[in-house]
Amino acid sequence: MIIKSVMPCTGELRDNEFLLPVRVYYEDTDAGGIVYYANYLKFAERARTEFIRSLGVRQQDELEEENKFGFAVKHCEIDYKMPAVLDDELVVTVQVTGLKGASATMHQEIRRGEDVLAEIDITVVYLSLKQKRPVRIPKELAAKIEQLM
């Protein structure tokens, strides 16, 4: 799986799985010498953002509109299997596992070479930031996501 060197910074889709290369920097680590446990969620969100972007959605556009929209995380489960350390070249994956009305579920992995360092199962909800409540994912976007399941 020496796929990283040819993977673009913006990630890419391979067989319905989105892959983003992520490098571990000092900012990600802690005094235990490993990546701080909350920072895996940052990596995961970068991958989801690039995945959404690869479908043609620009989040900042949605924030700038009169009626702001965005995905918010509703539920998240993380299993930490092995620690990542400084300088690691990781690959963060996104796989859509469900889609229903205003919400979607995704399975994500943090990988280093053949090793899976962490597994994340996440539920995101599409929100109207102004009304602070979930709204149905726009048809066009939902159709694109559905294709990848």
Active site residues: 30
The phi and psi torsions of 9 (rounded to 5 degrees) equal -55, -25
Q: Which stretch binds a copy of itself (CB under 8 A): 46-54, 91-99, 101-109, 139-147?
A: 46-54
Report how far apart, in Å, the C-alpha atoms of 36 and of each of 25, 103, 114, 116 are: 11, 28, 21, 17
Q: How many Å apart are CA 133 and CA 128, to the nearest integer? A: 6
In whole angstroms, the minimum distance from the beta carbon of 17 to a copy of itself comes to: 19
83 part of the interface to a copy of itself, by CB under 8 A:
yes
Options 12, 17, 54, 70; binder of a copy of itself; rule CB under 8 A: 70
The pair of three-digit structure tokens given for residue 113, joined into one six-digit string: 């070479």
Q: Cα separation of 145 and 149, whole Å?
A: 7
Q: Is 13 in the site for a copy of itself (CB under 8 A)?
A: no
By CB under 8 A, name the binding residues for a copy of itself: 8-10, 21, 23, 25-27, 29-34, 36-39, 41-42, 45-46, 49-50, 53, 58-60, 63, 70, 72-80, 83, 85-88, 129, 132
